[in-house]
A and B are shown apart, each in its own frame.
Chain A
Amino acid sequence: MPPLRERRSAEMANFGFWNVDGLRKFDMSERQLPQIATELALERSLDLLFLIECGVPVEPIPTSPEEGLEFFAVACGDRFKVLVRFDPQFMCRLAPPVPSDRFDLWHLKLPLQEDVLIGVVHGLDKRNNSQQRQELFLRQFVAGLEYHEGKAGHNRSIVLGDFNANPYEAPMASALGMNAVMSRTIAQGPARRLLNSSYPFFYNPMWNLYGDEPRASAPATYFYRGSDPTEMYWHMLDQVLIRPSLIERFQVGALEIITAIRGRELTRASGIPDRSRFSDHLPVVFGVDLSKPDG
């Protein structure tokens, strides 16, 4: 296993995403969702914030436009809200060959920086869909992304969201789903070949965040106590995946599950996400170095 080589760069784009569980019908006044989401963006100096299952209005964040701290809304489907700290014209929304209200795609082209493709996904839930159906949905998303990777002429792609599946489950790990692996070495190797077809990998860095150390972190992003004899309790449904071309640019040290925003705990005393006040999911932040190669 090669040692972890992280590029240290100032040109880090800070990303955040959060399933805010905002499609439920309930009294929004009891939840501090829009405020806490914008505070997350400010506290973590996020350049891009993706809110999933967000049916509530989230106003552009009022800050000082003279300091470049202003946030703007990017065009997206009703299921999402996307706020960015730059002119939204730098983030062009893409139309996938098979459209869906459960995913969205953009081409991010920031001045003097490497362009990347970004996808946000809200995977089909397990309650109403078979595993095969979850995989098929994700394969349709990947096909749309690959179509735009071909048009862009590169595969610098970042995919994030609530996939409604754990990293070890078939929708994430199967070649028929996201084909996302835990190992940089495998991801950077040859694409998987099955029955004379090639399936390019994603690298899934979320494997690194499992477990309850350090103490201030959470074991995963979502808690569910099922009735099966084997129950994991904590589930890593919220994940960021990157193509191998971005592995050296991805800052694993900056990848984090957020449990508090400006001192406010997003979990109850038991450590379980506080759904009544915030969301049943915890947010995730990460950084990607978008600097252009020297010369």
Chain B
Amino acid sequence: MPENLWPDFDIAGAPRSPKAVIQEAGDGLSVKTRGLIKFTAMPMLIKDDKVTVRFNLFVRDLTYSYPFLTVSFAVNPVYPVSLVADKVPELSVANEEELIAALTRIFNAPPTIETVQRLMSLARQ
């Protein structure tokens, strides 16, 4: 077995992508809705050095994905990140801390709560 020529990498210290941060933040929706609604990501589209990802509210009982949040950022550097959420004014964030604050604002916005409530009602019909 030849010696591994690669150096040691700082895996824990590698910056997280905005997509990973948003997915992790959104995953709690399934718990809060007792599995009725899941926060899901569509495949990333990379075009002209710009990454675009759409996140949906997936209602399995309806076989329906409600388009909820569209995020775009450059390939490098990844910040600033632009967030266009359902019925919430467009936001731009400069770092991960601001991203989490923006997601908190979006998730707790009255239109978001109303949308989730209405999707849950539809799912239970």
Q: Which residues on A are within 8 Å of B, measured CB to CB?
A: 8-13, 42-45, 47, 65-70, 72, 85-87, 90, 110-113, 291, 294
Contact = CB atoms under 8 A, between A and B. Distances in A.
A188 B117 CA distance: 36
Contacts of A42: 43
Contact of A111 (B58, B66, B68, B85): B66
Nearest to A87: B63
A230 B68 CA distance: 49
A10 B58 contact: no
Chain A contact residues: over half helix, strand or loop, or mixed? loop
Contact of B87 (A68, A85, A291): A291
Contacts of B43: 42-43, 45, 69
A112 B65 contact: no
A87 to B, nearest CB: 4
Interface residues of B, number: 30
Contact of A86 (B63, B85, B90, B118): B63
In this complex, the member of B42, B60, B69, B86 whose beta carbon has the largest number of chain A beta carbons within 10 angstroms is B42
A181 B112 CA distance: 38
26 contacts: A10-B54, A42-B43, A45-B42, A45-B54, A67-B38, A67-B40, A67-B58, A68-B38, A68-B40, A68-B64, A70-B63, A86-B63, A86-B64, A87-B62, A87-B63, A87-B64, A110-B64, A111-B59, A111-B62, A111-B119, A111-B122, A112-B66, A112-B115, A112-B119, A291-B86, A291-B87
A44 B84 CA distance: 18
A67 B60 CA distance: 9
Given A45-B45, A112-B118, A112-B119, A13 B60 contact: no
A125 to B, nearest CB: 33
B40 A294 contact: no
A10 B115 CA distance: 13
Interface of B: 38, 40-43, 45, 54, 56, 58-60, 62-70, 84-87, 90, 111, 115, 118-119, 122
Given A8-B84, A12-B67, A66-B60, 17 more contacts: A8-B90, A9-B84, A10-B54, A10-B84, A10-B86, A11-B68, A45-B42, A45-B54, A65-B60, A68-B56, A85-B65, A87-B62, A110-B64, A111-B62, A111-B122, A291-B87, A294-B111
A11 B86 contact: yes
- Report the 7 A-B pairs with minimum CB-CB distance, sorted nearest first: A68-B58, A87-B63, A68-B65, A45-B42, A67-B40, A10-B70, A10-B86
A108 to B, nearest CB: 12
A291 B67 CA distance: 9
Nearest to A290: B67
Contacts of B65: 68, 85-86
Contacts of B64: 68, 86-87, 90, 110-111
Contacts, number: 74
Contacts of B62: 87, 111
Q: In this complex, which of A43, A45, A68 has the most chain B Cβ atoms within 10 angstroms of its Cβ? A: A68
A47 B64 CA distance: 10
B70 A12 contact: yes
Contacts of A66: 38, 60
B31 to A, nearest CB: 15
The CB with the most chain A CB atoms within 10 A, among B68, B87, B111, is that of B87
Contact of B42 (A69, A110, A294): A69
A166 B74 CA distance: 36
Nearest to B115: A112
Nearest to B42: A45
Nearest to B56: A68
Nearest to B86: A10
Contacts of A294: 87, 111
